[in-house]
Amino acid sequence: MNLRLIKQRFMLHLDPVLLSGLGALLLVSLLVLYSASGGNEMRVLGQLGNIAIGFVALWIVANMPLHWLMRIAVPIYVLGMLLLIGVALFGEISHGARRWLNLGFMNFQPSELMKIAVPLMMAWYFEKHEATLTMKNYVIATLLLLMPVALILRQPDLGTSILIAASGFYVLFLAGLSWRVIGGLLVGAAASAPFLWNMLHDYQRHRILMLFDPSQDALGKGYHTIQGMIAVGSGGLLGKGYMQGTQTHLDFLPERTTDFIFAVYSEEFGFVGNLFLLGLFAFIIGRGFMITASASTYFTRLMAGSVTLTFFTYAFVNMGMVSGILPVVGVPLPLVSYGGTSMLTLLLGFGVLMSIHTHQRLVKT
Amino acid sequence: MTPHAELKNHQRERYLFSLRLVFCLSFVGLLMAILLARAFYLQVWKHEYFDTMAESNRIFVVPIVPNRGVITDRNGRVLARNYAGYTLELTPEKIKDLNATIAEIGKLVEIKPKDLRRFKKLMSERRSLQTLPVKTRLTDEELARFAAQRFRFPGVEIKARLFREYPLSETTSHLLGYIGRINQQELDELDKKNLAGNYMGSDYIGKTGIEQRYEKEMHGVTGFEQIEVDAGGRAVRMLSRTPPQSGKDLKLTLDAGLQEVAEQAFGDYRGALVAIDPATGEILSFVSKPGYDPNLFIDGIDTESWDALNNSPDVPLNNRALRGQYPPGSTIKPFMALTGLHFDVRSPSFSISDPGYFMLPGSSHRYRDWKTSGHGRVDLFASVVVSCDTYYYGLATELGIDRMHEYLDQFGFGKRTGIDLEGEVSGLLPSTEWKMKRHQQIWYPGDTVSAGIGQGYNLVTPLQLAFATAILANDGVAYKPHLVKEIQHAPNEPQAAPEPLYDLHIPAEHLALVKSAMQAVVKPGGTAVGAFWGVGYPVAGKTGTAQVIGIKQGEKYDAEKVSEYNRDHAWFIAFAPADKPRIALAVLAENGGHGGSTAAPIARKVLDYYLLGKKPKPLQKVVEKEGVEDD
């Protein structure tokens, strides 16, 4: 096989359009990480490693035929649930939360696995009952969603549970959950809000309260939000320049390489930079919608739509919390924030999207 | 189900899915727009606000305190200076157990009970997060010992500071005043005047005296360093530096040597002395006895020292020269004589026959002369020389109180001189209008009689009397008394010479008569001859006695019988050389008795030093000449 053929085989199940969007965003990530870490090459190399692992996973999943995906949906979901229960019973406690499972050789966070497993399971379930969808199926699907969400919420991990709840809800919505039920759920949610409020941990309540008035506790819980807003606002139209952000480089900004990396970017590249970044996200999401719209089966449509919308939710919640319109819930900026696990699950998701896109293309031709 | 129906169903399903997808797409678009709007709001609309926030986050402004101006006397001798020293300061908010910490520090550095008492006083009046000195002026050894152990004492720091020092201590206390720690009230005051920024790093402010009056000039302009800090408050780099402008140095009109001589001349007497250069109004000496050590006040005085000063029967904190009000007694007579001549009520040749008392027409009340047998025939010249009371009883009665008020007012009696010190009092020069206003009473002829010899309602401060004497010495041309000769200025900056306030236009023959009578006071036959025996320059003077308690009709005042604090105050005013005066002064010796025997010798020492450069030997007793008495 010559080089061209190797390349062809390699690219066979990848989508060059989506790939270029992801590549651009990952380049931005490396660039901003270098500044956010104060010029630390190790951080950049670490992220490069995360990308490499994530990309291998993406390539593998993208090359999986769709029926494989369908076949692994149930086992992965069951495994994930078992692990979540394991975490609840034997998990490692770190920073006051029980999220990790010590596997001896590595710490593993099963909730990350569920970001893919839950929509996969629900899409599989709807595909199974496509012809005879009744109210009962929606209820069971909802239960499939709520069980892991409740377990993760108890860890506690508000950010992840929101993202998983969102990904599951998108499946329900795209599967045609009737507007009347959605309306009823909204009313119900509003009515049960006080009850849910009591379920939340103190720190979660605090974070929600800070949304309304971060200055209330400027040195405590509101500090993150205020410093983030100052960083974004002081960036101005054109930004302070690469490596020139004072909020970033003088340590005022917390969690610069992870949850608050958007503030670093905004401070240094300004409003114009944000236009570019949002454009990049819009491009990736737009491509995701195109793949969703052209997906051939019920399962693939639901799965592609959920992955695309969850990716958007990630981005929106993160940028919203950094710019002070959403509470700080601990959601990273997808593909930009430093972090191996989220990089892996996100790229896995895009692998699913590419598999859906390339395999049906092959089917068509 | 037919394939057709299934296909249709499939199409409908796809259609419904597409609708949902379009809905999602619009939802995504809407949220994207919200993010964009938020970014626009923060980065464009409110950019300036957040930019300011970011700047104030990272930029820390450190004030650089300017050096306070130095005060020197007219010859350049330093009266108030700054010296660098180390203090040990605590921030009470940062220390858990204050007493334990101080006890621990006490093992390394000697902390006297006095330091502790002062620290407690400072604690009660401190501003929040202020650092308070627990020990000032560390020795090199103490400094080294503490520095080696400082890690054990969070919230305790060694600070290098400039200290104020008054080398002449008590001698200059009442005119220089002192600086002290800024209290809340002064801080509010500075805030109102928009000066709080200039005092950001300053701990001290002038509290009394020259230090208070010339605070603005001597404080200087605070400089600033803008330092970039990180979130931990660590300095990263200096962004800019505005150097401070040192406070201006003051050169006083005071002659420190003269001041020392004057202060020593009082011996154990309480009292005051003010000496003025009559040709300029420059104050050469300004003494109030007893004084106090102003250095005690700088870092907050401890309670014990404060109580000692505050409760002393000698009231050392009272500035007698500026705020002490006493009847002028016979020292008013030269001015009364000029008043009589001015209104043509007396001619130089007019004389009375003094029986030793004066009676108002239609009254049997006898206003006694100090000399019960009377002075015999007394004209204006003699009335000053022998200090004849009867002469002035009659003169006052004929003048009337309002004419006396009109003329004496021009010598500065009954009003503030306008000296450059805070807290001057006005004394009292009575008039019919004043009595009606103040006491709702008409003026009685008897009031005028005692006013004629400077008793009754009359009150003067030593400063006022010195001012009046200076006007007389300078032939009626008045210069405002002042303590500051020069405020530091650029070499080519023009300085205004003192301008006369006004001229009384006293006829030369009136002046010559009164001045020659005053010269005769210090010669044989005069009331102050004892003190000026063998004087080497022409002196003009006048004795005076101010009654502290009233004496009933038919009784005689006996200094031996009344307690020390009820004895009469002794006055002496003088100027010299009489023909071309270079110095005019007023001396008050509280409870000193006779002006001629206690106040005049003090004046003699001062004049001798100023005019001849003669330093009096300490502990030299003045020989009192018997037989010469004042009223």
Structural contact between residues B622 and B531, judged by C-beta atoms closer than 8 angstroms: yes
Instruction: Find chain B residues with C-beta within 8 A of A319's C-beta.
Output: 35
pLDDT at A219: 53
Mean per-residue pLDDT, B361-382: 88
Q: Is B330 a catalytic residue?
A: yes
Q: Using the Cα atoms of residue B88, residue B92, residue B93 and residue B99 in order, give the sign of their dihedral.
A: positive
Are A83 and A130 found together in one domain? Answer: yes
CB-based contacts of B514, cutoff 8 Å, min separation 6: B334, B337, B338, B341, B380, B384, B472
Closest CB from A231, A237, A278 relative to B35: A278
Return the DSSP state at B499: P
Residue A323 lies in a domain: yes
Segment B299-321 mean pLDDT? 86
Judge if A224 and A329 occupy the same domain: yes
Q: Give a yes or no: residue A273 inside a domain.
A: yes
- Residue B126, in any domain of the structure: yes
Partner residue facing B230 (CB), from A251, A312, A316:
A251
Domain with A191, as residue range(s), is: 75-200
| pLDDT confidence of residue A365 | 41
- Based on the fold, state whether residues A168 and A145 are members of the same structural domain: yes
Inform me whether the pLDDT recorded for B137 exceeds 50.
Answer: yes
What type of residue is B543?
A: T
Q: What is the average pLDDT across B68-81?
A: 93
CB-CB under 8 Å, A234 with B50: yes
Contact B35 A316 (CB under 8 A): yes
Phi then psi for residue B187, to 5 deg, are -65, -45
In-domain check, residue B151: yes
Residues B65-93: what's their mean pLDDT? 88
Shared-domain flag, residues A331 and A291: yes
Which of the four pLDDT bands, split at 50, 70 and 90, describes residue B623?
Answer: very low
- Verify that A363 and A229 share a domain, yes or no: yes
pLDDT at B616 over 80: no
Q: In which band, very low, low, confident or very high, does the pLDDT at B627 lie, cut at 50, 70 and 90?
A: very low
Amino acid A248 reads T
Mutate to test the interface with A, among B43, B44, B47, B227 (most CBs of A within 10 A): B43
B-chain CB neighbours of A274 within 8 Å are 36, 39, 43
> Shortest Cα distance from A317 to chain B (angstroms)?
10
Q: Which of B333, B295, B293 is nearest to B317 (CA)?
A: B293
pLDDT for B629 equals 42
Contacts of B34 in chain A (CB under 8 A): 325
pLDDT above 70: residue B233: no
User: Per the CB < 8 Å rule, is A285 touching B28?
Assistant: yes
Answer for the pair B89, B119: CB distance below 8 angstroms, yes or no.
no
Q: Specify the 3-state DSSP secondary structure of A106.
A: coil
Q: Reply yes or no on whether the pLDDT at A35 is more than 90.
A: yes
Please report the pLDDT score of residue B621 as a whole number: 45
Minimal Cβ distance to B35: which of A246, A305, A319? A319
In a domain, A272, yes or no: yes
Shared domain for A224 and A283, answered yes or no, is yes
- Residues A186, A319, single domain; the answer is no
Chain B residues with CB under 8 Å of A281 CB are 32
Task: Give the pLDDT confidence of B244-291 residue by residue, as tens digits.
Answer: 889 999 999 999 999 999 999 999 899 999 999 999 999 999 999 899
Residue A93 C-alpha, separation from nearest chain B C-alpha, in angstroms: 29
Answer yes or no: do A364 and A231 share one domain: yes
Closest approach of chain B CAs to the CA of A45, in angstroms?
26
With residue B80 as reference, give the H or E element that holds it: strand B78-90
Which residue type does B164 have? R
Residue A217 has pLDDT above 60, yes or no: no
Report yes or no on B185 lying in a domain: yes
Higher pLDDT, B106 or A265: A265
| Mean pLDDT to the nearest integer, A260-270 | 95
CA distance B132 to B111: 14
Reported ipTM exceeds the 0.90 cut: yes
Q: What is chain B's mean pLDDT, rounded?
A: 86
Sheet of A107-108, strands arranged across: A92-94, A97-102, A107-108
CB-facing half-sphere around the CA of A137: CA atoms within 13 A:
20
Interchain pair B43, A235: CB under 8 A: yes
Cross-chain Cβ contact B39/A320 below 8 Å: no
Work out the average pLDDT over B439-464: 92
Q: Are residues A134 and A263 in the same domain?
A: no
Residue listed under structure tokens 């320049």: A241
User: How open is the CA angle B48-B52-B58, to the nearest 5 degrees?
Assistant: 145
For residue B561, the model assigns a pLDDT of: 62
Inter-chain CB proximity B236 and A231 less than 8 Å: no
Closest CB to B17 among A250, A270, A301? A301
Residue among B32, B43, B55 whose CB faces A271 most closely: B43
Task: List pLDDT tens digits, range A145-187.
Answer: 999 999 998 888 888 898 999 999 999 999 988 888 889 888 8
Using the predicted structure, report yes or no on whether residue B574 has a pLDDT greater than 90.
yes
Same domain as A109, residue A189: yes
Pick the residue of B28, B34, B228, B237 with the most A CBs within 10 A to test the interface with A by mutation: B28
Give domain status of residue B514, yes or no. Answer: no
Residue B189: how many other CB atoms lie within 10 Å: 14
What is the spatial distance between Cα B448 and Cα B287, in angstroms, rounded to a whole number? 32
pLDDT tens sequence across A339-362: 888 899 999 999 999 999 998 755
Q: Is there a domain that residue B237 lies in? A: yes
Band (pLDDT 50/70/90 cuts) for residue B127 is low
Tell me how close the Cα of A235 comes to any Cα of chain B, in angstroms. 6
- Taking CB atoms and an 8 Å cut-off, how many pairs form between chains A and B? 116
Q: Per residue in B462-482, pLDDT tens?
A: 999 999 999 999 999 999 999
Mapped onto helix, strand or coil, the DSSP state of residue B584 is: strand
- Residues B173, B246, B285, B330: which is the catalytic one? B330
Domain membership flag for residue B609: no
Identity of the residue in A232, A251, A281 whose CB atom sits nearest the CB atom of B43: A232
The pLDDT-based confidence of B29 (bands split at 50, 70, 90) is: very high
8 Å CB contact of A319 and B24: no
Contact A234 B230 (CB under 8 A): no
Which of B40, B49, B50 should we substitute to test contact with A (largest number of A Cβ atoms within 10 Å)?
B50
Residues of chain B with Cβ-Cβ distance to A309 below 8 Å are 24, 28
Number of domains in chain B: 1
Q: pLDDT tens digits for B162-218? A: 888 899 989 999 999 999 888 888 888 888 887 877 888 788 899 999 999 999 999
Q: Quick one: pLDDT at residue A211?
A: 57
pLDDT score, position A3:
84
Question: pLDDT for B148-158, tens place per residue?
Answer: 888 888 888 88
* pLDDT tier at A221, thresholds 50, 70, 90: low
Say if the Cβ atoms of B44 and A271 lie within 8 Å.
Answer: yes
The Cα B221–Cα A332 span in angstroms is: 51
Looking at the structure, do residues A86 and A179 belong to the same domain, yes or no?
yes
* End-to-end Cα distance, chain A: 24
pTM given for the model: 0.68
Task: Kindly list the residues from chain A whose CB atom is less than 8 angstroms away from the CB atom of residue B54.
Answer: 230-231, 233-234, 246-247, 252
Measured between alpha carbons, how far is B208 from B169 in angstroms, rounded to an integer?
A: 14
The chain-wide mean pLDDT, for chain A, equals 87
Task: Please report residues of B whose CB lies closer than 8 A to that of A289.
Answer: 21, 24-25
The total number of structural domains that make up chain A: 2
Asked whether residue A12 is domain-assigned, the answer is: no
Domain that holds residue B207: 64-252
Question: Which residues in chain B are contacts of A170 at CB distance < 8 A?
Answer: 24
Residue B125 lies inside a defined structural domain of this protein: yes
> Where does the pLDDT of residue B8 fall: very low under 50, low under 70, confident under 90, or very high at 90 and above?
low
Is the pLDDT score of B550 beyond 70? no
What's the pLDDT tens digit per position in B398-413?
999 999 999 999 999 9
Q: Residue B622's pLDDT is what?
A: 45
Contact A266, B43 (CB under 8 A): yes
For range A229-256, the mean pLDDT: 89
Which one is predicted more confidently, B31 or A215? B31
Rounded to whole angstroms, how far apart are CA atoms B535 and B528?
Answer: 12
Which residue out of A250, A272, A283, A296 would a mutagenesis test of the B interface target, given it has the greatest number of B Cβ atoms within 10 Å? Answer: A250
pLDDT of residue B184: 83
Residue A297 lies in a domain: yes
A291 lies in the same domain as A235: yes
Place of tokens 């010249």: B381
- pLDDT tens per residue across span B9-21: 777 778 888 999 9
Determine the average pLDDT of the residues in B444-467.
92
The share of chain B scoring above pLDDT 70, in percent, equals 93
Residue B153 domain-assigned (yes or no) = yes
Residue range A210-228: average pLDDT?
67
Q: Chain A: nearest CA to B227, how far in angstroms?
A: 12
Looking at residue B222, which CATH number applies to its domain?
Answer: 3.90.1310.10
Least Cα distance to B166 among B292, B331, B303, B320 occurs for: B292
